Amino acid sequence: MLMEGTMSGYDLKKTIDSSVGIFYKASFGSLYPALKRLAEKELVSLNETDDSKNKKLYTLLPSGREAFLTWLSGPLQAARNEQLIRIFFFDYLDEEPRQRLLEEYLFKLEHEIRTLEVVKGIVTGELAEIEHPENYYYRVSVLAYGLSHVQMEKQWLTDIKERKNLNHVEPQN
């Protein structure tokens, strides 16, 4: 996020929450120690303001930009999905907790879909107002992926909640 410009820890958290926060969470408890480590490695600079808030502002240094671009250019890693590992072991649960957990997860996914659709509407409007919307292709593609992924996950959960035949094992009713 510091590639975008100088920010305080609070501004970073706010930017993360309003952009990549759908799929990447950062708490203040993890953000500030990470900023401290980056400053110690001389990848970011720290400037304390003299105003009443004594804000600490972080700026990405050239060495930090280089380290970020090296990381960004590295091989992509497959993400872990804790929900899948838990659902894998659902056969050990009784039906009532299984159904309750699936229903809770479906509720969460429906909320995410609504949120992503609102963000998509905002982004579409903002892209129509800027001179070179093509410069945001990859950011917008992540939004499209997120919406498609969450919709697919919701359909999959609905199918297993209803114990539909998913062409692998005929469910017993």
DSSP letters of 60-74?
E-HHHHHHHHHHHHS
- In this structure, the answer to whether residues 66 and 89 fall within a common structural domain is no
Highest mean pLDDT among 42-56, 77-91, 105-119: 105-119
Domain with 25 in it = 2-73
Helix (H, G, I), strand (E, B) or coil at 98: helix
Alpha-carbon gap, residue 163 to 116, rounded angstroms: 28
Name the domain count of the chain. 2
| Closest by Cα among 111, 103, 82 to 157 | 103
Q: Are 66 and 83 in contact (CB under 8 A)?
A: no
Give me the pLDDT at residue 75, please: 82
Question: 93 in a domain, yes or no?
Answer: yes
What is the average pLDDT across 4-20? 88
Alpha-carbon gap, residue 133 to 126, rounded angstroms: 9
The answer on pLDDT for 43 being more than 80 is yes
Give me the pLDDT at residue 167, please: 65
- In this structure, the answer to whether residues 122 and 89 fall within a common structural domain is yes
Give me the pLDDT at residue 60, please: 95
- In this structure, the answer to whether residues 93 and 69 fall within a common structural domain is no
What single-letter amino acid sits at 118? V
- In this structure, the answer to whether residues 69 and 91 fall within a common structural domain is no
